[in-house]
Amino acid sequence: MNNEQALQIFKKTGGYLEGHFLFTSGRHGDCYMQCAKVLQYPEYTFQFGAVIAEYFKDKGVSAVIGPAVGGIVIAYEVARQLGVRALFAERENGIMTIRRGLEINPGEKLLIVEDVVTTGGSVKEVMEIVRENKGIAAGVGAVVDRTGGTIEFGVPFKAALTLKLNSYPPEQCPICKGGDIPLIKPGSRNI
C-alpha cells in the first residue's frame, strides 16, 4: 500500500473529511481525520497493520504496545501479524501507565504503535514507560503521521499514511475569511 492508496481508504470510509473544522485546541482546519472510521473494517486494519509489521518484522521485537484507546486496535493487529504479544498503556489520573497485569520483560524489544501521530506526545509517554520497565523501545509505527514526516522519536518510525495537515488560529483562518463553508466541531453531527 502506498501513501495515495492509504489516503483513498481514509476517504472512502469517511476517516478523512474535508471542510471547515473546529478542533479541541481551538484552531481551525480544512480537514479532519477519524482513524476509528477506517479501523472499524478489519480488512483495512489488516492492510495498515501489514505496512507497519512488514517494516519491523526483522527487528527482533517481542511485543507491541499501543496507547489506549486509539492505539489498541492497530497495535493488536501489528502484534498478530508479527506473532508477538499485544500490550496497551492507559491513563490513570492523567498519567500513562501499564495496568491489568500486563508486563514488560527486562531487556525485551517493544514496538510502540499508535493510530494517529499529531504531536507524538502519547507515543513518547509510552516509550518512557517501556524504558522505566527496563524494556527497549525499538521503533514506532502509526497508521497516520499528521506531521508530514517531521516528527522525531529517536528510533525507526514507519507510518502507513503521511500527511501535512494545516490548522490556523481562528482570526487567521483562510476558510473563515472565505465565508461560505460552515464551521463544524468534530464529535457533533456524527463525525
Residue 189 CB, nearest approach to Zn ion (Å): 16
Q: What's the min distance (Å) between Cβ of 116 and Zn ion?
A: 21
Residue 110 or 175: the one with the smaller Cβ distance to Zn ion is 175
Q: Given CA atoms 134, 84, 163, 187 in this order, what sign does their dihedral have? A: negative
Q: Which is nearer to Zn ion, 22 or 39 (CB)?
A: 22
Q: Which residue is nearest to Zn ion (CB)?
A: 173
Nearer to Zn ion, 28 or 158 (CB): 28
Residues 160, 101: Cα–Cα separation, whole Å: 31
Based on CB atoms, which residue is closest to Zn ion, 94 or 179? 179
Judged by beta carbon, residue 68 or residue 184, the one nearer Zn ion is 184
- How far from 76 is each of 73, 126, 149, CA to CA, in Å? 5, 15, 24
**How many other CB atoms sit within 10 Å of the CB of residue 115?**
24
Q: Which residues pair with 140 in a beta bridge?
A: 112, 157
In angstroms, what is the minimal distance from the CB of 163 to Zn ion?
19
Tell me the closest approach of the beta carbon of residue 21 to Zn ion, in angstroms: 8
Residue 110 and residue 136 in contact, taking contact as beta carbons nearer than 8 Å: yes
Nearer to Zn ion, 36 or 181 (CB): 181
Burial class from Cβ neighbours inside 10 Å (0-12, 13-18, 19+) for residue 64 reads: buried
- Quick one: cell of 154? 529517536
Closest CB 25 distance from Zn ion, rounded Å:
13
Query: Where on the chain is the footprint of Zn ion (CB under 5 A)?
Result: 28, 173, 175-176
Q: What is the DSSP string of 124-184?
A: HHHHHHHHHTT-EEEEEEEEEETBTT----SS-EEEEEE-B--EE-GGG-HHHHH--S--B
Closest distance to Zn ion from the beta carbon of 31 (Å): 12
